[in-house]
Amino acid sequence: MKVVTSAQMAKIEQVAIGEYGIPSIVLMENAALGLLDAAEELLLELEGKKVVILAGKGNNGGDGLALGRHLVNRGVEVKLFLCAEADELKGDALINYRLLRGLGSIIFQVSGEAELRAFKLALITCDLAVDALYGTGFRGALPPIQESYVRELNLSGKRILAVDIPSGLEADTGRVYKDAVKADVTVTFGLPKLGHFMERGPEYSGRVEVEHISIPARILDNPSVSTHVLTPSLVGEALPPRVSSGHKGTHGTGLIIGGSPGMTGALVLAAKAMLRSGAGLVQMATGASLAPFVDSTLMEATTIALPELATGEFSSSVLLALNVWLARAKVVAVGPGLGQRDGSLEFITELLQACVVPIVLDADALNALASDLSILAQANGPVILTPHPGEMARLAGITVEEVAHNRLALALEKAVEWNVILVLKGPNTIIAVPDGRAFINPTGNQILGVGGTGDVLTGCIAGLIAQGANPLDAACLGVYCHGLAGDILARDMGTRGALAGEIADLIPKALRQVQEASK
């Protein structure tokens, strides 16, 4: 599903109105009908219910006014609080104001403490509150008066339906500067907005429902919109087929290189995730001194003992020792638990040159890479980088804060510059591609904030590539199912105390859910 900036959505609406001749009042009416459906779903039955609407002077407020009219016609008692003077309303919003007022509805024009007291009283007895204060054009912090209304709305404990985007949430960034409406459901129009999924967007948007409001599909499928939100149908197309005659050889071989004293667990977790994602054979390559221990941890994988120096560093012959295994592998993953070894950069450089299959670089492989990103140009196969914000900051030479506030643009910029598929981990992980496309992942929660889950993601992506998925499809499907496994686990045990290995164990269930949902 495509996701847009506020400017892109405005352009789409202009085309619908100007080139297709759809009157703007029709778009507003359809938006109101979509909101009516959502309100009925939340309330189960409309007649006899009480709804409070907080509206602004723009088109977002016009949508709220139009919704108010439909609610009144369905037997709902509506109290609307308008943060504007009537003479400030224009166009379609003004038309809907006059229509609602003509039905005898109670409309409070917000000006001082009296209206705020009335708003608090109305919230006490209402069954649903609707936020139609600000739309996608909002930037910065809420003005003090509106902020006080939003605060009361959030404190009320009532279910909240947001119109297009919660007021106080920036549509292009997902930033909240002071406060914003915390909606239970947001009904957005045409296409979802970046702000629903970036930064604090998920926290404030609740469940996002999309109403196309009669905008023709050919307009919504605008080729200039190159950012997508991952959905089961989108990632389901990437599932490698499993035929009844398949066996461990046809299901693909994956090679993972890592492990160091005290950090062999990362290597084992990644290997486990490879197997859980469906790879037929998984080989764990680590230093000879660690190989016996690693070999005893995961019965289903094999272990390769790599030559090493007395200091524990890989010897210069390590790549030669790997050659036979590289020839068999469909994918190579490097980094989990690798440690900060001398010679890591040289090893990764030689590996990039020798490896013609996709290679996934994570963890300490990224830390080594940060000292000389030019080696990426020597890669002979597709490269996937999977940094968390700290690793991305080192790679890009900026602060973690700069990464956090510029995730989408930064991921796209560096995917193009480095010619890699870049998986920038974090809430709503971003997958960026050198051709300018980006994919935002909606699955996952705070249960994933525990050591080892990044290693599980690396293994999951690599395991899907081993089975035949192309690197981009594997990255998108792996990220989505990794997050979905976290969602499944959180539903069962809450968001505290999970282990990364438990996430790996739920990958098959997540893959099955995707397969069933995409049919």
Q: How do residues 163-194 score in pLDDT, each as one tens digit?
A: 999 999 999 999 999 999 999 999 999 999 99
**Confidence (pLDDT) at 70:** 98
Indicate if 311 and 452 belong to the same structural domain.
Answer: yes
- State which of 200, 225, 250 marks the end of a domain: 225
CA 319 from chain centre, in angstroms, equals 37
- Residue 63, in any domain of the structure: yes
**Confidence (pLDDT) at 311:** 65
Segments forming the whole domain that contains residue 423:
234-517
pLDDT band at 310 (very low <50, low <70, confident <90, very high): low
Tracing tokens 């970036």 back to the chain, one arrives at 198
Least confident piece of the model among 54-68, 265-279, 300-314:
300-314
CA 422 from chain centre, in angstroms, equals 14
Tracing tokens 């050659």 back to the chain, one arrives at 323
On the question of pLDDT at 312 being above 70, the answer is no
Crossing angle, helix 264-276 and helix 453-466, to 10 degrees? 40
Assigned token pair, 397? 């030479």
- State which of 225, 245, 260 marks the end of a domain: 225
Residues 263 and 291 sit within 8 Å (Cβ to Cβ): no
CATH number for the domain that contains residue 58: 3.40.50.10260
- Residue 43, in any domain of the structure: yes
Residues 488 and 510 sit within 8 Å (Cβ to Cβ): yes
Indicate if 136 and 248 belong to the same structural domain.
Answer: no
Indicate if 314 and 215 belong to the same structural domain.
Answer: no
CATH number for the domain that contains residue 497: 3.40.1190.20
b/e per residue, 341-350, with b = 16+ CB within 10 A? beebbebbbb
Residues 187 and 60 sit within 8 Å (Cβ to Cβ): no
317-375: per-residue pLDDT in tens? 888 889 999 999 999 999 999 988 878 899 999 999 999 999 999 999 999 999 999 99
pLDDT band at 206 (very low <50, low <70, confident <90, very high): very high
Indicate if 43 and 104 belong to the same structural domain.
Answer: yes
Least confident piece of the model among 28-32, 199-203, 342-346:
342-346
495-519: per-residue pLDDT in tens? 999 999 999 999 999 999 999 998 7
Residue type, 172: D
Assigned token pair, 26? 């029709």
pLDDT band at 112 (very low <50, low <70, confident <90, very high): confident
- Residue 93, in any domain of the structure: yes
Indicate if 453 and 355 belong to the same structural domain.
Answer: yes
Assigned token pair, 328? 């068999």
Beta-bridge partner residues of 286: 305
- How far apart, in Å, are the Cα atoms of 506 and each of 29, 230, 248, 452, 502? 44, 19, 21, 15, 6
Indicate if 115 and 163 belong to the same structural domain.
Answer: yes
Indicate if 456 and 381 belong to the same structural domain.
Answer: yes
Provide the 3-class DSSP secondary structure of residue 503. helix
Residue type, 128: L
Strand-strand pairing, 331-334 and 302-306: unpaired
423-452: per-residue pLDDT in tens? 999 989 999 999 999 999 999 999 999 999
Indicate if 375 and 498 belong to the same structural domain.
Answer: yes
- Helices H, strands E: what count in the chain? 21, 17
363-411: per-residue pLDDT in tens? 999 999 999 999 999 999 999 999 999 999 999 999 999 999 889 999 9
In angstroms, rounded to a whole number, what is the distance separating the alpha carbons of residues 174 and 5? 11
- State which of 225, 253, 280 marks the end of a domain: 225
Indicate if 283 and 136 belong to the same structural domain.
Answer: no
Residues 181 and 131 sit within 8 Å (Cβ to Cβ): yes
1 CB neighbour count, 10 Å cutoff: 14
Angle CA 332–229–485, to nearest 5: 60
In angstroms, rounded to a whole number, what is the distance separating the alpha carbons of residues 423 and 464? 15
What does residue 258 show for φ and ψ, rounded to 5 degrees?
Answer: 175, -160
Provide the 3-class DSSP secondary structure of residue 267. helix
**Confidence (pLDDT) at 457:** 98
Assigned token pair, 87? 């003479």
- Spell out the residues 6+ positions from residue 72 whose beta carbon is closer than 8 angstroms to its own: 78, 100, 103, 105
Indicate if 21 and 163 belong to the same structural domain.
Answer: yes
In angstroms, rounded to a whole number, what is the distance separating the alpha carbons of residues 177 and 200? 10
Secondary-structure percent of the chain, ordered helix, strand, coil, rounded to 5: 45, 15, 40
Q: Enter the DSSP assignment of 308.
A: B
Residue type, 517: A
Residues 325 and 304 sit within 8 Å (Cβ to Cβ): yes
- Spell out the residues 6+ positions from residue 445 whose beta carbon is closer than 8 angstroms to its own: 483, 486, 487, 490, 495
In angstroms, rounded to a whole number, what is the distance separating the alpha carbons of residues 250 and 246? 6
117-164: per-residue pLDDT in tens? 999 999 999 999 999 999 999 999 999 999 999 999 999 999 999 999
On the question of pLDDT at 313 being above 90, the answer is no
Average pLDDT, the chain: 95
Residue type, 361: L
Beta-bridge partner residues of 511: none
- Residue 1, in any domain of the structure: no
Domain count, the chain: 2
In angstroms, rounded to a whole number, what is the distance separating the alpha carbons of residues 389 and 407? 9
Residue type, 117: R
Beta-bridge partner residues of 185: 161, 207
Indicate if 156 and 241 belong to the same structural domain.
Answer: no
- Residue 487, in any domain of the structure: yes
Residue type, 17: I
On the question of pLDDT at 314 being above 80, the answer is no
**Confidence (pLDDT) at 105:** 87
Give which of 139, 191, 182, 178 is closest to 161, Cα–Cα. 182
What does residue 294 show for φ and ψ, rounded to 5 degrees?
Answer: -60, -40
Which H or E run includes 162?
strand 160-163
On the question of pLDDT at 37 being above 80, the answer is yes
**Confidence (pLDDT) at 104:** 87
- Residue ranges in 355-452 assigned as alpha helix (H): 364-369, 389-396, 400-404, 407-418
Indicate if 179 and 159 belong to the same structural domain.
Answer: yes
